Chains A and B, each alone.
Chain A
Amino acid sequence: MRIRVDGAKCQGNARCWALAPDMFELNDEGYMEEAVIDVPDGDQEKASRAVRACPERALTLIDD
């Protein structure tokens, strides 16, 4: 499982980071940059909650 971050949509709400600070690395302004994040085994549930937490819909789950 991976998460695609749409950097252009992110507005720094940091809701993803609040749920999973290890998975989502904010830059100095507090925003997520364009990225594809690998979800470690066992963190799938946390990852999908973080995706559902983003008010801007900047995160998408990729189920591989």
Chain B
Amino acid sequence: MTATAVQDSIPAHVPPELVGSFNFYTSEQMVPTPMGDPQAATSVLHSGPPVFYAPNNTRNGEGTWVVVRAEDQRKVLQDGVTFSSNRRLFASALGEDWPLIPLEIDPPDHAKWRSLLNPLLSPKRVVAMEPIVRERAVEIIEEIRRSGNSCNAMDDFCLPYAVSVFLQFLGIGTENLRTFVDWAMDQLHGAPDKRTAAARRFIAWLDELQAERRKRPSDDFMSFVTQAEVDGRRMTEHEVRAMSVLLLVAGLDTVAAAVGFDLYYLARHPEQQTLLRTEPDRLVLAAEELLRAYPTVTPTRKATVDVELAGAPIKAGDLVACPAMTANRDPAEFADPDSIILDREDNRHVAFAYGVHRCLGSHLARREIVIGLEEWLARVGPFRIKEGTTPITHGGFVFGVKDLILAWD
């Protein structure tokens, strides 16, 4: 965008002194960057106003307010009435208009959907899923080891791992793993036309699975939701679709990116790598610290009324972005926020957000990260970024790292 176009897109109620020059899509370190550190690059925002306006701060180039501090983000994310998540983003990309369930449903309706889903991914349920998660991790890592002593961490490990755990949760086999990984890549990182095509394929595939499970239920997620009742009636086909498609977009790339950033960090810090390999009990706490340092998601809301937040005159209809990256490096919340301290205690990071939409999959995601790293460290041995290769990091909708080629002896 040219400077004048940006200027034109700033609404009149935004005071000029609150217009920031940083956005999460096109600023330095947010664009694809060799050996970058995009989360750390957002730390500078703590020296500016606590809430500022970023023109061009969504995938579609809309402007948003950016809430920098953890405490202010908590106010936004814990108040789903003033700050609505009914944005219908996924549907609008398809030229349609329906909410993802439960992400784009506001309180009080949100609770009934959430209550239905909570038991499926509760901490106790996740404990029962662990053996399968570990089996998947081991299978994929062993295949990598058989094929040599280097690999593309995202394509060969992180994504297939996240996808196969997910397919297991949905209740289907992993024969189509590769196709699925390709779809996921297109859906999340492809050019807009590829994203739309991939989204339609996902939907068609989920519709088919739904029809199949309605006819012949088994004991998996899809069978559960096709049988489940809300408000004393069965869910409609459309509701089942809006729910299952959300799990797909929410639970694949996020897990893969988290494991990817962790491996990227460990590849550059051999002494920490050795510590976690020799004392795997440290992984639970270390994974929390890495989630704090390398979160990937920016929950975004739409104001329903005019409201002032930390000096910013937000108007009904404005978008309000709460990047986990800045909250997680808030000096008011974390001592020495830019240092990675693998045994940090009292770590109230917001990688999974706050409030009613707190990540439904957080308990599963936490275990996937810990188990994935544990098996990787134990089986692969000391690893590094392969000589002559350069990982590329990026900001945006979901932060990520690619071209992460790891090598070992």
Binding site for B on A (CB under 8 A): 9, 11-15, 17-18, 26, 28-31, 49, 52-57
Q: Which residue of B lies closest to A51 (CB)?
A: B346
Given contacts A12-B118, A30-B124, A30-B125, 13 further A-B contacts (CB under 8 A): A14-B123, A15-B348, A18-B284, A28-B119, A29-B115, A30-B119, A30-B123, A52-B346, A53-B348, A54-B348, A55-B350, A56-B355, A56-B358
- Give the CA-CA distance A55 to B295 in the complex, in Å: 15
Residues of A within 8 Å of B345, CB to CB, are 49
Q: A interface, by DSSP: helix, strand, loop or mixed? A: loop
Question: Mind listing 6 A-B residue pairs with CB under 8 Å?
Answer: A12-B122, A15-B348, A26-B124, A29-B118, A30-B125, A53-B348
- Give the CA-CA distance A30 to B361 in the complex, in Å: 12
Contact between A26 and B123 (Cβ–Cβ < 8 Å)?
yes
Confirm or deny: B87 has a beta carbon within 8 angstroms of a beta carbon on chain A. no
Determine which of A11, A28, A53, A57 lies in contact with B356 in the assembled complex, contact meaning CB atoms within 8 Å.
Answer: A11
Contact between A30 and B348 (Cβ–Cβ < 8 Å)?
no
Chain B 342-358 per-residue mask, 1 if CB under 8 angstroms from chain A, else 0: 00011111101011101
Q: Which residue of B lies closest to A17 (CB)?
A: B123
Contact between A52 and B123 (Cβ–Cβ < 8 Å)?
no
Confirm or deny: B363 has a beta carbon within 8 angstroms of a beta carbon on chain A. yes
Contact between A11 and B358 (Cβ–Cβ < 8 Å)?
yes
Q: Which residue of A lies closest to B350 (CB)?
A: A55
Contact between A11 and B354 (Cβ–Cβ < 8 Å)?
yes
Contact between B346 and A53 (Cβ–Cβ < 8 Å)?
yes
Residues of B within 8 Å of A15, CB to CB, are 348
Residues of B within 8 Å of A11, CB to CB, are 354-356, 358
Q: Which residue of B lies closest to A57 (CB)?
A: B74
Contact between A52 and B348 (Cβ–Cβ < 8 Å)?
yes
Confirm or deny: B43 has a beta carbon within 8 angstroms of a beta carbon on chain A. no
The 7 closest A-B pairs by CB, nearest first: A30-B122, A29-B118, A11-B358, A14-B123, A55-B348, A52-B346, A30-B123
Chain B 139-155 per-residue mask, 1 if CB under 8 angstroms from chain A, else 0: 00000000000000000
Residues of A within 8 Å of B119, CB to CB, are 28-30
Confirm or deny: B390 has a beta carbon within 8 angstroms of a beta carbon on chain A. no
Confirm or deny: B362 has a beta carbon within 8 angstroms of a beta carbon on chain A. yes
Residues of A within 8 Å of B346, CB to CB, are 49, 52-53
Confirm or deny: B86 has a beta carbon within 8 angstroms of a beta carbon on chain A. no
Q: Which residue of B lies closest to A28 (CB)?
A: B119
Contacts known (A54-B348, A56-B78); A30 close to B118, Cβ less than 8 A: yes
Contact between B118 and A13 (Cβ–Cβ < 8 Å)?
no
- Give the CA-CA distance A14 to B121 in the complex, in Å: 12
Residues of B within 8 Å of A53, CB to CB, are 346-348
Residues of A within 8 Å of B363, CB to CB, are 14, 30
Contact between B358 and A12 (Cβ–Cβ < 8 Å)?
yes
- Give the CA-CA distance A49 to B344 in the complex, in Å: 12
- Give the CA-CA distance A15 to B363 in the complex, in Å: 10
Residues of B within 8 Å of A9, CB to CB, are 78
Residues of B within 8 Å of A17, CB to CB, are 123
Minimum C-beta distance from A60 to chain B (A): 15
Contacts known (A28-B119, A29-B118, A52-B346); A13 close to B124, Cβ less than 8 A: no
Q: Which residue of B lies closest to A13 (CB)?
A: B358
Minimum C-beta distance from A2 to chain B (A): 20
Q: Which residue of A lies closest to B356 (CB)?
A: A11
Q: Which residue of A lies closest to B345 (CB)?
A: A49
Q: Which residue of B lies closest to A55 (CB)?
A: B348
Minimum C-beta distance from B112 to chain A (A): 12
Residues of B within 8 Å of A18, CB to CB, are 123, 284
Residues of B within 8 Å of A13, CB to CB, are 352, 358, 362
- Give the CA-CA distance A36 to B363 in the complex, in Å: 25
Minimum C-beta distance from B69 to chain A (A): 14
Minimum C-beta distance from A8 to chain B (A): 10
